[in-house]
């Protein structure tokens, strides 16, 4: 018996596995080739002039407005992914994941024309800065020059980081948000409703002191609300647009990487051909086996 199968059934199982591997190899080949072509064919856009939609951006990663620190080493960063594993049994390579996670805090990408918010939710992230170690390591206490040792030899720690100042390649859905997202009419209506609900504001416009706003008093309130909204909109209109890069709504690739993107494209090419070679060999083996069984 072999793995619960009779000797006669074992060759059939092997042929099925070979055919499955061959099919997986072909699928991976086309998937990786499609990714590579997207990266190679997509022109690099500038943040200030980028069109709305699917774009490629290259710039400098800048940290979130609120400081972000990696959970293990407390390194200041723009993005992190971490994993903590525990050794099981006596085997040196037998590890079980105890804890893992990644940051979803928005951070900045800056090129020579402007800045863009990067929303990493749902992104495939390839970080050039990676650290894996076992045993204790020094952890800097934020805001001080002091360090403390954490970790033990029964645990393995891994961190992937995007650091401030690193060159970031980003491929995703670009959207520019206008400072004036709502119409003036809607903002005036909301301001009137807010002022009418505020007892102090109502008293300010209730000139005859009867506790009610007559038509003339209400018109005065409406005019002042409109003037206040118009002044605020003029100030907001002078502010630059907010640009955001996020995951596309469809299934197109959302990629963030600090690896050189041309090197990554070359790696995808070699990986694709390796999968194709493995797939063709597996299909040839499976096909030959089927002919022999037939």
Domain boundaries, the chain: 23-178+241-289, 184-237
Average pLDDT of the residues of the chain: 80
What letter does residue 44 receive in the DSSP assignment? Answer: B
Average of pLDDT values for 210-222? 84
**Residue bearing the bigger pLDDT, 2 or 99:** 99
The three-class DSSP label of residue 254 is coil
Is-contact 158 82, C-beta < 8 A? yes
Is-contact 242 117, C-beta < 8 A? yes
Q: Specify the pTM.
A: 0.63
Complete DSSP assignment for 130-153: EEEEES-EEEEPTTSS-EEEE--T
Q: Where is mean pLDDT largest: 7-21, 146-160, 209-223, 263-277?
A: 209-223
The predicted structure's pLDDT at residue 231: 82
Q: Which phi and psi (to 5°) does residue 34 adopt?
A: -65, -40
């Amino acid at each position: 018996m072999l793995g619960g199968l009779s000797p006669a059934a074992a060759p059939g199982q092997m042929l099925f596995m070979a055919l499955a591997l061959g099919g997986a190899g072909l699928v991976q080949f086309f998937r990786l080739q499609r990714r590579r072509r997207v990266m190679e064919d997509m022109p690099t856009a500038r943040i200030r002039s980028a069109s709305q939609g699917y774009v490629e951006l290259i710039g400098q990663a800048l940290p979130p407005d609120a400081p972000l620190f990696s959970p293990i080493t407390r390194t200041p960063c723009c993005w992190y992914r971490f994993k903590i594993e525990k050794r099981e049994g006596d085997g040196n390579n037998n590890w079980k994941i105890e804890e893992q996670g990644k940051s979803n805090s928005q951070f900045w990408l800056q090129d020579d024309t402007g800045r863009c918010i990067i929303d990493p939710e749902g992104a495939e992230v390839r970080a050039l800065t990676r650290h894996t170690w076992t045993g204790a390591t020094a952890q800097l206490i934020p805001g001080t020059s002091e360090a403390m040792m954490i970790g033990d030899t029964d645990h393995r720690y891994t961190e992937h980081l995007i650091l401030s100042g690193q060159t970031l390649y980003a491929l995703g859905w670009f959207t520019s948000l206008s400072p004036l997202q709502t119409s003036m009419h809607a903002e005036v209506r909301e301001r009137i409703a807010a002022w009418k609900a505020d007892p102090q504001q109502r008293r300010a416009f209730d000139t005859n002191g009867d506790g009610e706003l007559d038509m003339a008093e209400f018109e005065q309130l409406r005019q002042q609300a409109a003037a206040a909204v118009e002044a605020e909109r003029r100030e907001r209109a002078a502010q630059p647009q907010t640009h955001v890069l996020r995951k596309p709504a469809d299934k197109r690739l959302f990629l963030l990487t600090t690896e050189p993107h041309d090197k990554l494209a070359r790696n995808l090419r070699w990986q694709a051909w390796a999968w194709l070679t493995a797939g063709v060999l597996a299909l040839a083996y499976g096909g030959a086996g089927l002919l022999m069984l037939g």
